[in-house]
């Protein structure tokens, strides 16, 4: 269990992020087309997991936009935006904002991702959502970077995440 804050109030997550150097936990998430998606769908690519509570919040929207703009500069890299937003809502957000490179994925059907990655919020007003985090996974599915943002209302460290993704290429 990890402790982060929301507007200064402590909240707890279901665990801790996977350790750098460990194998990334597999997952089963729902894509915009309602198909099941797993880590294997992105085999051979560097994966930036932009994990957040909801694209309907300002900071989540900012991080999606920033990663969308930055990832276009890298080859063989995908940004997987993981939340508990419904696939329809996440897809509508991406289309409305002109985001073409991030891939929105939802825990709509299967809630194992939040537990496996230690980011499911267990208590407080955001209980049931995912804590803001970034995990970078290399082409062999090894975790090369992990940041759980200490305050939900804070943006992730884009520079460190993108540097880790570049090194993993």
Pick from 46, 30, 48, 42: nearest CA to 133: 48
Of the candidates 146, 150, 113, the residue with the CA atom closest to the CA atom of residue 22: 146
Secondary structure tally for the chain: helices H, strands E: 4, 9
Measured between its terminal Cα atoms, the distance across the chain in Å is 31
Given the residues 39, 60, 78, 164, the one annotated as active site: 60
- In the chain, alpha helices (H): 58-71, 87-97, 112-116, 158-168
What Cα–Cα distance (Å) separates residue 93 from each residue in 112, 131, 165? 24, 19, 25
What length does the chain have?
Answer: 169
Active site residue 60: yes
Q: Which of 166, 109, 96 is nearest to 138 (CA)?
A: 166
- State the catalytic residues: 60
């Amino acid at each position: 269990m990890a402790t982060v804050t929301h507007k200064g109030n402590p909240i707890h997550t279901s665990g801790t992020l996977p350790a750098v150097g460990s194998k990334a936990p597999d997952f089963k998430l729902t894509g915009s087309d309602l198909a099941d998606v797993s880590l294997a769908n992105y085999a051979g690519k560097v994966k930036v997991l932009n994990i957040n509570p909801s694209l309907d919040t300002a900071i989540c929207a900012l991080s999606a936009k920033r990663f969308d703009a930055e990832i276009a500069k890298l080859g063989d890299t995908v940004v997987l935006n993981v939340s508990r937003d419904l696939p329809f809502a996440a897809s509508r957000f991406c289309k409305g904002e002109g985001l073409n490179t991030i891939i929105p994925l939802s825990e709509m059907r299967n809630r194992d991702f939040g537990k496996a990655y230690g980011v499911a919020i267990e208590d407080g007003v955001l209980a049931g959502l995912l804590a803001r985090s970034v995990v970078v996974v290399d082409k062999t599915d090894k975790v090369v970077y992990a940041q759980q943002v200490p305050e939900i209302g804070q943006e992730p460290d884009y520079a460190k995440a993108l540097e880790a993704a570049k090194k993993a290429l």
